[in-house]
Amino acid sequence: MYKFILTISLYLFIGLSPIVLFSQGDKPKDEQKKETRWNVYKNEIALDFKFLNRDLNLQSIGSNFIYKKRFGEKKFISLNEKKSWRFQIGGYANYPVSTQDTINATRTSYEHRNFNNIDMRINLLAGIEFQRQFDKLQLYYGFDSGVSYVLTVGPHSFRYYTNSFMEEYIRSEESSFGIPIVGFIGLKYFFHPRFSLSIESAVSIGVAWVRSEYLYYNNFNDIDKIELVKTEVAKRTDIRFGTHYLRLLNASFHF
């Protein structure tokens, strides 16, 4: 009887061992699968790398900082459809590091024109983003709106008239305050649950209030006698439409 019980127990152990090992082997995979769910964090901060070298122009630098906060999730959390508020602040500055001039000379006059503009832009935007998750890939789209400020200083012009021995210096400056509405679409790739890369395109339309100012100076050769002759100011309102094939190139951290 003892040998019979021992034999039955041995057969049961041998028969059940693969099942136990199989179930134990599957458990870490299931846990790992749960750990690598994508887009599970509700907060995201992103830094735009495109404006660090705007339009591949070595004379400019800037960036956009974006914060996203997911909303609308209570008891039920969708795995592939989410939406977020997004807030961004950013801008760029363009300073010339080389000269770009034109010179026109005649028998009675000489003109030297300097096209080295200084450009600065600041954006403050907010919007909503809809997200569709496909494993590691995310398709997102939505719209932004807010305010933007642009300042352009230049070009400058020097004029000299040989018949009257007068030199004139012209300085120009243009500033604009705008309210853009931007529709965007992008593609994001998660290479880690907390880190992702994305690329974004957009179209925009908006209104801008522009102020242009021209300052005219005489006797520019003599610094002590330089004087402001006149100032011309022009104001206008523009309706602006633009396409941004590469609006943002973001690296994001999710938390």
CB atoms within 10 A of CB 125: 20
Structure tokens at 173: 């400056």
Residue 24 has pLDDT above 70, yes or no: no
Q: Which of 247, 237, 240, 179 is nearest to 205 (CA)?
A: 240
Residue 44 has pLDDT above 50, yes or no: yes
Does 31 share its domain with 51?
A: no
Does 30 share its domain with 112?
A: no
> Domain residues for 247?
41-254
pTM exceeds cut of 0.85: no
Does 73 share its domain with 31?
A: no
pLDDT, one tens digit per residue, over 138-151 is: 999 999 999 999 99
Q: How many folded domains does the chain comprise?
A: 2
Q: Please report, for residues 24, 72, 78, 99, 101, the alpha-carbon distance to residue 75 in angstroms, rounded to integers and kept in the order given.
A: 31, 10, 10, 62, 65
Does 52 share its domain with 18?
A: no
Does 13 share its domain with 110?
A: no
Q: Which of 48, 230, 21 is nearest to 125 (CA)?
A: 48
pLDDT, one tens digit per residue, over 194-240 is: 999 999 999 999 999 999 988 776 655 554 555 667 788 999 999 99
Percent of the chain with pLDDT over 90: 44
Does 229 share its domain with 165?
A: yes
Does 95 share its domain with 12?
A: no
Among 32-36, 109-113, 144-148, 212-216, which stretch is predicted with the lowest mean pLDDT? 32-36
Does 90 share its domain with 198?
A: yes
